[in-house]
Amino acid sequence: MKLKFLQKSETHSENSRALIEGTRDGIPVALGYLAVSFSLGIVARSAGLTAFQGFLASALVNASAGEYAGFTVIAADAPYLEMVIVILIANARYFLMSCAMSQRMSHETRLPHRLLLGNYITDEFFGLAISRPGYINPSYSYGSILVAAPCWAIGTAIGVIAGNLLPLRVVSALNVALYGMFLAIIVPPARKNKVIAGLILICFASSYAASLLPIISDLSAGTRTIILTVAISAIAAFLFPVKQRGETGNDT
pLDDT tens digits, residue range 12-31?
778 888 899 989 989 988 98
Q: Is residue 2 part of a domain?
A: no
- Least confident among 116-130, 193-207, 238-252: 238-252
- What is the per-residue pLDDT for 149? 92
- Structural domain that includes position 199: 193-245
Query: Is there a domain that residue 251 lies in?
Result: no
Domain total for the chain?
Answer: 2
Instruction: Please give the mean pLDDT across all residues of the chain.
Output: 80
Outline where the chain has alpha helix (H): 2-46, 51-61, 64-75, 80-91, 93-102, 111-119, 123-130, 138-162, 168-192, 194-210, 221-239
Q: Is the pLDDT of residue 176 over 70?
A: no
4 is a domain residue: no
- Does a structural domain hold residue 183? no
What DSSP designation does 217 have?
G
Specify the higher pLDDT residue, 181 or 100: 100
Task: Encode pLDDT of 110-166 as tens digits.
Answer: 888 888 888 888 888 888 888 888 888 889 989 999 999 999 999 999 988 887 666
Instruction: Return d(Cα 54, Cα 61) in angstroms, integer.
Output: 11
Report the range of poorest mean pLDDT among 22-36, 92-106, 146-160, 237-251.
Answer: 237-251
